[in-house]
Amino acid sequence: MDNLIITCAISGAEVTKQDNPYVPYTIEETVEQAYQAYLAGASIIHLHVREDDGTPTQSKSRYEAIIKRIREKCNDVIIQPSTGGAVGMQRDERLQPTELNIEMATLDCGTLNFGGDDIFVNTENDIKHFAKVMHEKSILPELECFEKGHIDLVLRLHKKGFIYDPMHFSFVLGVNGGMTGEARDFHFLKESIPKSCTYSVAGIGRFEFPLAELAIQNGGHVRVGLEDNLYIEKGVLAKGNQELVKKVCEIAKKYNREIATPSEARQILKLKE
């Protein structure tokens, strides 16, 4: 089995300091959370950025400032900006971080309800456009799939030449409006992608650690972080992203799965060193 790639989704666009005071807003807070997650074992930082008051933004200059500071502290970590941004943002707004010199970014592979009246819109044309932009800039997309239909669409677009090899999936399970994250869901999705592809799982809320454990046992990779889950255990808030990463490292140890360094993660994902 490959060493385990841990991605840390340090902030997201939806969670707030009211939910967990460690959710980073300022440049300093965001850089510190990324650094602590890296020290704990994360080789990839999935990055959303906020204004100082917590408002989500896809501002190129805000990403640029934060990425520069993260690289100063841990220059080998893989930075994976979001192109999902927040619900309601438009294509060009969402794509701003791809104008920076980045190796990876998320590519959301379908539309879904996102709680209340919110709809997270990713039309087929959006997906083709985002894939094209990333391909032209040699950015590896992390193919975020919130349910099985999203995987089917990716495979169809890949066959038609709109999505390129290598394909690295992220199964984001447990979103209110997407697929749940039970063991049967995990196995169904894992069996639905070609064996040559890599995948990571991101369990939302209570699904975070059970799904991480399944991925660790089955040769997959893992994403954790305050974007996805605020608690280190039932009813106990995590005191920062690093606690969530450390808990994954402990689970990996139980199954003798080594943690990938950023350099090993680049090899596994076929990224240029």
Nearest approach, Cβ of residue 204 and ligand KMH (Å):
10
Burial (CB count within 10 angstroms: exposed 0-12, middle 13-18, buried 19+), residue 208: buried
Q: Which of 111, 58, 118, 114 is nearest to 82 (CA)?
A: 58
CA 20 to centroid of chain Cα atoms: 19
Nearest approach, Cβ of residue 253 and ligand KMH (Å):
29
Q: Which is nearer to ligand KMH, 85 or 220 (CB)?
A: 85
Nearest approach, Cβ of residue 227 and Zn ion (Å):
5
* Residue 80 lies near Zn ion (rule: CB under 5 A): no
- Do 247 and 209 form a contact (C-beta atoms < 8 A)? yes
Binding part of the chain for Zn ion, among 19-27, 79-87, 119-127, 154-162 by CB under 5 A, reads: 79-87
Q: Which is nearer to ligand KMH, 111 or 198 (CB)?
A: 111
Q: Which residue is nearest to Zn ion (CB)?
A: 82
Long-range contacts: 124-132, Cβ < 8 Å, 24+?
Answer: 124/153, 124/157, 126/91, 127/153, 127/157, 127/162, 127/163, 128/157, 128/162, 129/91, 130/83, 130/91, 130/94, 130/95, 131/107, 131/157, 131/162, 131/163, 131/164, 132/162
d(CA 44, CA 57): 20
Q: Which is nearer to Zn ion, 33 or 82 (CB)?
A: 82
- Sites of contact with ligand KMH (CB under 6 A): 12-14, 82-84, 86-87, 106, 108, 120, 144
Indicate left, alpha or beta for 260 from its phi (over 0: left) and psi (-120 to 50: alpha). beta
**Number of shown-chain residues binding Zn ion (CB under 5 A):** 1
* Residue 30 lies near Zn ion (rule: CB under 5 A): no
Binding part of the chain for Zn ion, among 76-84, 97-105, 119-127, 209-217 by CB under 5 A, reads: 76-84
Q: Which of 58, 82, 241, 242 touches Zn ion (CB under 5 A)?
A: 82
241 binds, among ligand KMH, Zn ion, none (CB under 5 to 8 A by kind): none
86 binds, among Zn ion, ligand KMH, none (CB under 5 to 8 A by kind): ligand KMH
Q: Which is nearer to ligand KMH, 137 or 264 (CB)?
A: 137
Count of Cβ atoms closer than 10 Å to residue 26 Cβ: 14
* Interface contacts to Zn ion, rule CB under 5 A: 82
